[in-house]
Structure 1
Amino acid sequence: MDAPQVEKDTMIGELLEIDQNIAPILFGIGMHCLGCPASQMETIEEAAMVHGINPEDLVTEINKFLAKENSEAQAAE
């Protein structure tokens, strides 16, 4: 099974539904309001820009994380 992929227009709420283990990545760049209802409706791009982060770099980091986690899960099967 292929790892899920996110894009700049993926909503933060959707992102956390894909994998809650992404939260530490977001906390690490200063996105501490993940539980806020308003943040759930922001895209990765919007949230990154508010926090002064390049959205493309963030998407790349998240997708690398998801691929690694998927690879580890498949190896464990």
Structure 2
Amino acid sequence: MTKITKEMTIMDVLKMDQGLAEIFMKHGLHCLGCPGATMESIEDAGKVHGIDSDKLVAELNEYMESK
């Protein structure tokens, strides 16, 4: 299993499993289809939106490990 990191783009992570979208939205990242999602890393998006990217990445990885 590929571990999700802060350096990955949101779109790359969503391609791994569409169920991850719910976690992004729970953390306030609602524009999953916008151009920024294809270019912005999770860390960059966290900075722009005031989100703790470490917490988000941990939750994304927990989801993937539970599958």
Q: Do they superpose with TM above 0.5? A: yes
Aligned to 2:28: 30
Q: State the TM-score, normalizing by the size of structure 1.
A: 0.79
Higher alpha-carbon Rg: 1
TM-score (norm 2): 0.89
Return the alpha-carbon distance in structure 2 between the equivalents of residues 43 and 32 of structure 1: 15
* One-letter amino acid matched to 1:47: A
Percent identity of equivalent pairs: 40
CA contact (8 A) 2:6 2:53 kept: yes
Unaligned runs of at least 5 residues, structure 2: none
Displacement of 1:45 in angstroms is: 0.5
1:73 equivalent in structure 2: none
Q: How many residues align?
A: 67
Q: Deviations over 1:34-67 (max 9, x none)?
A: 0112222110101112221111111111101100
